[in-house]
Amino acid sequence: MRRIIILFLAAAFLISCNANNTPEVKGAADSTAQMEAPTLPFTVDKTPDWETGNPSHVALAMNTLKAFVDNDMTGIKQYLADSVEFYTDGIKFKGSRDSLIKVFTEYRGALSRIDIKMHDYESVKSKSRGEEWVGMWYTENDVNKAGVNDSSMVMDDIKIVNGKVALIDSKGRKLPTEYNKFPAH
């Protein structure tokens, strides 16, 4: 019996020694562990300092997009700030909400249908500047009045000020024609 106890204690000692020598993966056991900053090939004037933003801002940004898709220019008005900026391919706008709605009305009027497939979104807030932004990534399929289909991958950066959309920066990349298909309704 004494031999069994001595063998058991020796085995326990060896196992505990091996457990202490196991290499630790940094951050694996502690989700709050700081990651080492990588060396970056480019520098920025100010290190980014973003934190998770207000989730209701995502709904605001998506409701603005949905009103545009639905050609609801009366409804879109409630989401826009009094003074707003809009940037996209070939358009640079800075002015009143009503003037932007006229731009939207003309642009949307050339399309008979828009479908959006949302891929991802994020609401962030700058700790030092207090700016609040929503990013949305989606595929947009359009049909113009002549029946021509067009598809793009789109990334929108939307600045929220006082609970309203104050800036929309929409960047798109045209997709090959095989993507120009609409889901059945």
The Cα–Cα gap between 8 and 2 comes to: 10
CATH hierarchy code of domain 50-179: 3.10.450.50
pLDDT value at 23 more than 50: no
pLDDT computed for residue 9 by the predictor: 47
Identify the three-state secondary structure at position 174: strand
| pLDDT tens digits, 33-50 | 578 878 889 888 888 889
Say how many C-beta atoms besides its own lie within 10 A of residue 4's C-beta.
8
- Please state the pTM of the whole predicted model: 0.76
| pLDDT tens digits, 49-105 | 899 999 999 999 999 999 999 999 999 999 999 999 999 999 999 999 999 999 999
